[in-house]
Structure 1
Amino acid sequence: MRFMFKTDYEDDIKLFPHSGYLWSYGSLLLVLMIAPFVLSSYLMSQLVFVCIYATVGVGLMILTGFTGQASLGHAAFLAIGAYTTAYLQQFGVPFIVYFLAAGVLTGIIGAMVGFPALRLQGIYLVIATISFAFIVEEILARWESVTHGNEGMRVKTIQILGTAVPRDSPAFYYLCLGVLILTIIGSLNLLRSPTGRAFVAIRDSETAARSMGINVSLYKVKSFAISAAIAGFAGCLFAHKLSFISPEMFTLQLSIEFIIVIIIGGAFSLHGAVLGAIFVVMVDPFLTFLKDDIPGVIGGLAATLGAGAQKASHIQDSVAAFASANGLKGAIYGIIIILFVLFEPLGLYGRWLKIKLFFQLFPLYKRATFKRQKIYVKSERNR
């Protein structure tokens, strides 16, 4: 087990607490860099979506995980970034310009959403963000002169310095990976700054934050703006990856998927955004396997156990019908969320920390190590 002795404030805010982080993250980066040369095109496409979802997850983590403000409207911020990209492309605007414009415009709109949300908390804030998402979806469908309505918009291939970057090329994967890495590093630096510490103080106790002189309203708006801007950058990449966007792509279900990213990954660490994105993106291949392969396996198993050819065929058809049923994906999401909330509220990253600490402290590990103590300000006890 490694022991670290901190002798000044710089030791407490280092980006990498010790050299082991450099080796582990360096090795991971090396693996990700060589991935296009060893993985299939399908897996590379999934990795691109992981990068995009993780980028949105990092932004949502800043708002929800570190500031304590709930949001079910991040699909709308993603849509604003995507449509800004498609619209500005029509006028021959360079990639770097409309990429930055997508983030800045989305951040401004995020700040505008943050102002009316200042008087809302809990379920009322969730309802407000859902309403915002519905409003944006309706605007995208009705403002045909800009968004082309339900017909959607084509998104051209990225051009960087006169060189095309197709959506299935390794260069596009490296672009998405680079945006994710810069987003994570920027977020880590933000959280080590006074602004990030103010976010955490607001999450833990707004009353205590006010007593320390923190302008709670200002920092809540900042959190909304930063989170929305990150989603806008991801929306630009999302539009290029799909090459076609329409209003029905940015529904409430997509916002729920982003919430699932941080719930399953772990809502109190940026690692959780990446782990949750991997989990959510890989659900679709699992459902494909469930629909295509599982019915045949179960039917064959039933025939092997002596169920008879006709009965085995009936079982196989029943399983296939269940696997192909509408809403199966939502049902699986619901079950997974319930299981995580009940048995692992710290998410996948929290489970990894527990496993790592178990081996570090064995045989002295205690199950209550990660149990969060309930500390209340007197004015908050009855809330």
Structure 2
Amino acid sequence: MNDPHETFEPEKLRDRLTEKYADLTSSRALHVAWYGMGDNPYFSVGLPDLCGFAGHLEALQRPGWTVKLTILTNRRAMVADQLVELRKIPVPFELKEWSLAEEEELLKKSHISFLPVCAQNFSVVKSLNRAVTALCHGTQVFSPGFDLYDRLDDFIYQRAAPLNDAIDSGQFRLRDETILKLEEVFADCADPAAEARRLMAFLQEREEHRIAASPIGLAPEASPDPSCALICGRDTNATAYRLAKRTGILTIASPGTPVTANFDIRFEWNDTFTGLNLLISEAVCARLADEIAGKARPCGRIIETTYRKLSMLDLPSLACPGGGAAWTGSRAAALATYPVEYATMRAAMAEILPKVECISDENWRWPFSYVRQTARLN
């Protein structure tokens, strides 16, 4: 799904383009905007991209023309090392803290939005939203580097030379005569109604596929899809749990998971802390092999789910050697028994539902190297 524009008003855009060109020719001052998140905890993007491609702005600073760059970004990105790099930008600039109101005001007065894109993995899959926003506000888009905005190619400058030619001639790629073309391009990749229809069609198709795939024709909530399961830890992301429920993924509570929600499967310590008990919902129990399902005994209801229970006498893989410390309930004991808990849960799942892929979700802030090595954490 593409990021759609908020508002696209061709008549207002036409007026704004006229005003901006009149201001440009009278002032001979080229107002350039760079706006967005200036940092990222995992990737060197934002202000590093601006600094890395800033040399392209120097080519716009020709005799008779003045370039004025305004940088809008988040305060967190304004660290000392980055400010030192900003000083190397070859054109005069003003640095401001980003806000939606500041961005709106900046785009109203700017002639060019400078949106460089580096070719690292994170950058090449970003959305078109900044270029779409810039074009809706009547600014030309100068985007050197990776061609992220290829779907908007007719309105994007990747080199300074063609942009300088347009400044001299007034024949910009975004101008009165090309607004209709822009409207057609937006209809394909940035129209809110079209994107909403695509999303609804996708969700409808997915729902129909899941219902058709169910052997008894029930929706995922009534009969979870057994191809994947989410093992919830001591501190699981609520969004991950809700997503699993909505998409028919089995939900599994580990021994330390708070008993505050419905789960398809629950693991809990037995009375002697020598192994785990396995509580399986009636819906999931119906999917087990007869040999295993026949051993599962009714054990009552937790919240809104009725369960059947298997012990390590029924399923030897539920034995937990070294799990005895769990009875203390201390954090140290929980840490000590955590690896054996996960190993036991995975072994039991492999035995009762061998075709199910288990994914773990844990946000408990302890160095669980075992889980990192054996599970895909979200």
For CA contacts below 8 A with separation 6 or more, give which structure has more relative contact order. 1
Q: Do both proteins adopt the same fold according to a TM-score greater than 0.5, normalized to the shorter chain?
A: no
Shorter-chain-normalised TM-score: which range? under 0.3
**Pair member with larger Rg:** 2
Q: Tell me which protein shows more strand as a share of its residues.
A: 2
TM-score (norm: length of structure 1): 0.20
TM-score (norm 2): 0.20
